[in-house]
Amino acid sequence: MALLSAPFARADGRRGSWRVAEGAILSAALLLVRGVGPGLAGQTVQAPEYQVKAVFLFNFAQFVDWPPAAFPDPETPLVIGILGNDPFEGFLEQTIRGEQVRGRGFQVRRYHSLDEIKTCHILFISRPEGNRPEAILAGLRNWPILTVSDADGFAERGGMIRFVTDRNHIRLQINLDAAQAASLTISSKLLRVSEIAAPRGP
């Protein structure tokens, strides 16, 4: 299964090769799918930052298992939600357009509050909400939702995945305990190329 399916680079299943369009290489998961090694954790940002992060969000769907109850019926799409301001400027929709994972399509939804969330599988929590995540994460406790943000200390404070941008590289921090508490299973392939965050003490 091809992991990188953004408009800039698509896998050609017949030739097993990659063709690049529009001069951008969004290889956020290329090394991971080919088993080459830990390229994802230190991926260089060669396109605008939130374009790369959109591809990461799309690819997370292939490295996380949700409990059956997270999908009310076989037709339920995999929902990527954005809580707060949307920094992706439409690129998230471009990334998931026409894509499927395990036979399910994708859908992007935007929320201004937790009360609006009904069905969601991956939730990107924007700043400034991500800078004060405790109340939000408490409201989502035990929901089978993969929480993601680029806010400082997000994974240490109970979020599941944090994007860390460091000198034009994106690294991932994962709070494995938080994911397991929500009955989510994160693939060992993703864990191997990520930093496991130590939760902050009380």
Contacts of 18 (CB under 8 A, 6+ apart): 4, 9, 10, 11, 12, 27, 30
Each residue's pLDDT tens digit, 59-86: 999 999 999 999 989 889 999 999 999 9
Residue 179 exposed, middle or buried by CB count within 10 Å (0-12, 13-18, 19+): buried
Q: Which helix (H) or strand (E) holds 148?
A: strand 146-149
Separation of CA 176 from chain center: 14
Using CA atoms, how far apart are residues 112 and 101, in angstroms rounded to an integer? 27
Mean pLDDT, residues 16-24: 25
Query: What integer pLDDT is reported at residue 132 of this predicted model?
Result: 80
Which amino acid is present at 201? G
DSSP E strands: which ranges in 47-114? 64-65, 78-83, 100-101, 104-111
**How much of the chain exceeds pLDDT 90, in percent?**
62
The tally of CA atoms less than 13 A away on the side-chain side of residue 134 is 4
Contacts of 115 (CB under 8 A, 6+ apart): none
- Is the model's pLDDT at 36 over the cut of 60? no
Contacts of 55 (CB under 8 A, 6+ apart): 4, 6, 26, 28, 29, 95
User: For 21-35, 155-169, 176-190, which range has the lowest pLDDT when averaged over its residues?
Assistant: 21-35
Main-chain dihedrals φ then ψ at residue 136, nearest 5 degrees: -65, -45
List of domains in the chain: 45-196 (3.40.50.2300)
C-beta separation of 186 from 179 below 8 A: yes
The rounded mean pLDDT for the chain is: 78
Query: What integer pLDDT is reported at residue 127 of this predicted model?
Result: 85
Main-chain dihedrals φ then ψ at residue 109, nearest 5 degrees: -130, 150
